[in-house]
Amino acid sequence: MSEPKSPAVPPVVRPAHEDDDDGTVVLERRTEKTKPPQMYQVVLLNDDYTPMEFVVFVIQEFFGKDRDTAIAIMLKVHVAGKGVCGVFSRDIATTKVNVVMEAAQNAGHPLQAVAEPID
């Protein structure tokens, strides 16, 4: 198995100084800084039919929150119309949304979850 190759970074070419006699060229390696991945918040949306206890269960089960935190998030959803359950990378946030939606559908509840990018 071969070593993974890092992306090629073009070297910076500096011309020889006028006072250099040998006419050499100096190559310098430029390091590229990578940006951290875009993060997404998983948000539960309020509806008039999903029981509050089911929302608390979902927050505890799929987001690992303790009961008091889950109740606080559920009340935020109920009062403000939506509440943030956690912040994740895009793939994990999408998976969390899908798991929540599947659990709600299996339980016969219209609970909705979305992943919103964080600026």
Instruction: Give me the architecture of the 39-117 domain, per CATH.
Output: 2-Layer Sandwich (3.30)
Domain boundaries defined on the chain? 39-117
pLDDT tens string 69-96: 999 999 999 999 999 999 999 999 999 9
- Give the whole-number percent of the chain exceeding pLDDT 90: 70
pLDDT of residue 65: 98
- The C-alpha atoms of residue 62 and residue 90 are separated, in whole angstroms, by 16
Tokens standing for residue 61:
């089960």
Tokens standing for residue 92:
């994990």
pTM of the model: 0.72
| For residue 8, pLDDT beyond 90 | no
SS3 72: helix
pLDDT tens string 34-53: 989 999 999 999 999 999 99
